[in-house]
Structure 1
Amino acid sequence: MAASTDLVIGADGRGRPLWAARDPLLQAYYDTEWGMPIRDEQGLFERLCLEGFQSGLSWATILRKRPAFRAAFAGFDPDAVAVFGDDDIERLMGDAGIVRNRAKILATIGNARATVALRGTVGAGGGLAELVWSFRPLQTPVPRSHADIPTTSPESVALSKELKRRGFRFVGPTTMYALMEAVGIVDTHLVGSHRRGTSGVWS
């Protein structure tokens, strides 16, 4: 199968999508992280929160602020974030290193509490990770161009509804599809990308 015409061939001879070819930080993220499986609770909680903060902003902005986000939110330890109170909210609102959006900050704290509450519940015995991965589709897209990459799917719509039912916020279908891409649940690397099929989840 021929490679996508939307790929940029780098100096190293590797094909990458345009978004990962212009910025060294994004290229490193694409080459080493994006689309690799994340199956632990804390890792998924972090990605879910960062995808929520990204809403309306560029991923590059969030990625540059990720170290500050991790410091501000106790390494995204759900147990630690779940007990954040008013003083923590004001601290976070004063932290120029992160996105100071009160609704998103409150959602992150609420999502930590919802993550803790998920443990051992029916349908999510393994907690957040088991629940999110249970929405893996039977097939993954095989995009030849950027236009071929979906922004939602029936599974992301269903995941969004289930998370909202369980008390999560900032988890709309588009945000959840981005999460599914980021953590390897679907593989939307373009055909011909050096990362296509490298997750081990999809051949």
Structure 2
Amino acid sequence: MPLGGPVASSSTPPGAALPVQVASPWKLPTVLQPHRHLLISYLLTALLTGPAFPLFALVRYFKFHTLRYALDEEGITMRWGILFRREVSLTYARIQDIHLSSNVVERWLGLACIQIQTASGNAQAEISIEGLQDFEAMRDLLYSKMRGTRERPAPAGRSAALASGEPEALTAALREVAAEVRALREELSTAPARENTDG
């Protein structure tokens, strides 16, 4: 067997292009937890609060230890909290935009924040994924899933036939439109003649 490159299966015709797969370090469904560098980032930002450092450090410590991201074929769920458990679920179809952001500390630690926005009208991100070192792979996975849900086939019927680009369906639809336009022209041209005979 030759080394390197994709190997065509026996069902793949010769010369056919193989489907492109997004390289992902995760197999879905999976549950991810943040890297320990996120805790360092949390503690360094909590230092900026001055006298309130112990309180903010404790809150961030518990968030870090309870933060989980669950990914499956339908969407992503984010969970965290001890006393007040929070859970945010989002399907891939609802995702409108994905942003990567990182401050100086996060860049130094090799982290970034993936902000997922929806069409809810909220200016803030619906979910912010923090603490992953494979943040670019995660962004690419989310993009591929988001595009995959939008490229699903349309419902059956005339619109599906038009979307598929079948020439017979397209020709039939154009003939229907042309017939309707002709009928409207005839009706409009006879309308002034009727008004003259009535008046």
- For the superposition of Structure 1 and Structure 2, which TM-score range results when normalised by the shorter chain? under 0.3
TM-score scaled by structure 2? 0.26
> Hey, which of these two has a bigger chunk of strand by percent?
2
- Point out the structure with max Rg over C-alpha: 2
- Name whichever structure is richer in helix by fraction: 1
Question: Which gives a bigger RCO, structure 1 or 2 (Cα 8 Å, sep 6+)?
Answer: 1
